[in-house]
Structure 1
């Protein structure tokens, strides 16, 4: 809609790919597939948030349209550019449809029978974001054998500015041990990734794709909880802010809430601040998430 502007800066690609690989390895495994990841330490110039959105959509699509086999995430150097590639052993796309799949509301003919149909916006969003970034998207496909989608990003000669690493004190780390955390997100991939991450920090995690799904698992929201992490954009035009309000309205005491979103609008930022929630933007870096959770869990 013309409201997204790119924040181009150099960064180490491993910072993004390592996190995505860890998250989607879990998702692929839950679908009976393997994710094979070839790491890359190159420095590139892009908007890390927007590039993450492109790669998430490509990885989700690869899993969605692959019945068996594997998905591969890796890179190939091409002169002064780096081609980030997602390969799959899925059903492939007929040559005459390769242009059409980037149009809004166009979907592949066949996908895994247990997958929701989606809106057919994934590749249209990929194409629009790539245009904003000035990155080229290419696709090659072999019907019945699989596909390869790639995004070309410029290599960087300069290193990113070093950011001071937040220091985690012992009390902050202890707060995460045994913390009861609810995660509400309509993307199964995000839920799987968050569960792996948070359980690795010692949290007791409940993940849910909808409010109804969460209610079933946590005694209609009455179970004990220390923190609620919600995605802002949920299904059926619902949002995380309203979901948190409805959940807390049915409890004796409100759960501290953290809102995660790819929406960078100042209006949303102001609204969440006024409600007293914590706001984090996608893609969420694990250390930043851990620090924010520790502060929330340490509130009196």
Structure 2
């Protein structure tokens, strides 16, 4: 988003497909946390960027699962004069009024004395706000302490008689990652196995390496830890992969270090840096953004 490389690609989609995809992504987590999803289904279609809208809804639902675990989460749509809104309501503890104006600020997290720790760094809603702005959508939050929180994504243009509809089964919705060749580099073998399994579940073709040696098959994306042991860092791997490939292959760096230090070592602003522990939804949305950009660049070059 900071580099300006995320641009919407609008098409006609069934709203329920997007909702179903997010429910599928979060089914296991909801079961583990004792959270119940209630869905008001819709047959309406809208013109939107399916991947970006999925990311927006995913971040909102992820927050509901974090802060309202064990409650009921309702997802539904409302038709308005100026389009459609998707709404997410939970019955959690709610948010104090003084926090509401700050929720969309980067790195802001609601913290009260005695609260339990929750994962994340406070970027979910900031990303929601910026993606919504890109697509001319409006996101608002209402919350009452002790009663729950409601989030609304408004301004989706309804297509009443769609001629071309993108109909995709929920498990195939994230098509930008299907068949994506990923070089995954991580010196912790348990983390390497877990991450590789996750990427393969998303449809990626994964080459998993511990960093001890570099044997590179053709790849579309490098996902690497920063510290790989033996004096080697992820920046070294990225440079070597790009040298062998003869082109700037997109890359993502995962780290527990200060971002400024890692950025200085990388020497490039266009490589996303994700802070550990990395949320699957954050990794997935970053990969989708990079893979969509790669595909559009390829198409543009082919057209020229």
**1:33-52 mapped onto 2 (5 Å cutoff):** 33-52=35-54
- How big is the alpha-carbon RMSD for the aligned residues of Structure 1 and Structure 2? 4.4
CA distance in 1, matches of 2:188, 2:137: 40
CA distance in 1, matches of 2:163, 2:126: 30
Task: Please say if residues 99 and 110 of structure 2, whose CA atoms lie closer than 8 Å, have aligned partners that are also in contact.
Answer: no
**1:15-54 mapped onto 2 (5 Å cutoff):** 15-54=17-56
Distance verdict in 2 for CA 1:140–1:160, change over 3 Å: farther
Distance verdict in 2 for CA 1:61–1:84, change over 3 Å: same
Kindly indicate whether residue 105 of structure 2 is the aligned counterpart of residue 113 of structure 1: no
2:190 to 194, 214, 226: 214
Map of 1:281 onto structure 2: 288
Distance verdict in 2 for CA 1:88–1:211, change over 3 Å: farther
Kindly indicate whether residue 209 of structure 2 is the aligned counterpart of residue 229 of structure 1: no
Moved over 3 A (4+): 110-115, 162-166, 210-213, 215-218, 225-228, 247-251, 253-261, 267-270
CA distance in 1, matches of 2:109, 2:9: 30
Distance verdict in 2 for CA 1:162–1:58, change over 3 Å: closer
CA distance in 1, matches of 2:164, 2:222: 25
1:70 to 69, 72, 83: 72
Task: Please say if residues 248 and 254 of structure 1, whose CA atoms lie closer than 8 Å, have aligned partners that are also in contact.
Answer: no
Q: Secondary structure at the match of 1:92?
A: coil
CA distance in 1, matches of 2:197, 2:65: 33
Gapped regions of structure 1 (runs ≥ 5): 167-192, 195-209, 232-239, 262-266, 273-279, 285-300
Q: CA deviation at 1:80?
A: 3.9
Aligned length: 215
Distance verdict in 2 for CA 1:270–1:39, change over 3 Å: farther
TM-score by length of 2: 0.57
CA distance in 2, matches of 1:89, 1:159: 36
Q: CA deviation at 1:31?
A: 1.1
Distance verdict in 2 for CA 1:256–1:89, change over 3 Å: farther
Task: Please say if residues 44 and 155 of structure 1, whose CA atoms lie closer than 8 Å, have aligned partners that are also in contact.
Answer: yes
TM-score by length of 1: 0.58
Gapped regions of structure 2 (runs ≥ 5): 172-185, 224-241, 251-286, 292-304
Q: CA deviation at 1:126?
A: 0.6
CA distance in 2, matches of 1:125, 1:227: 22
Q: Secondary structure at the match of 2:249?
A: helix
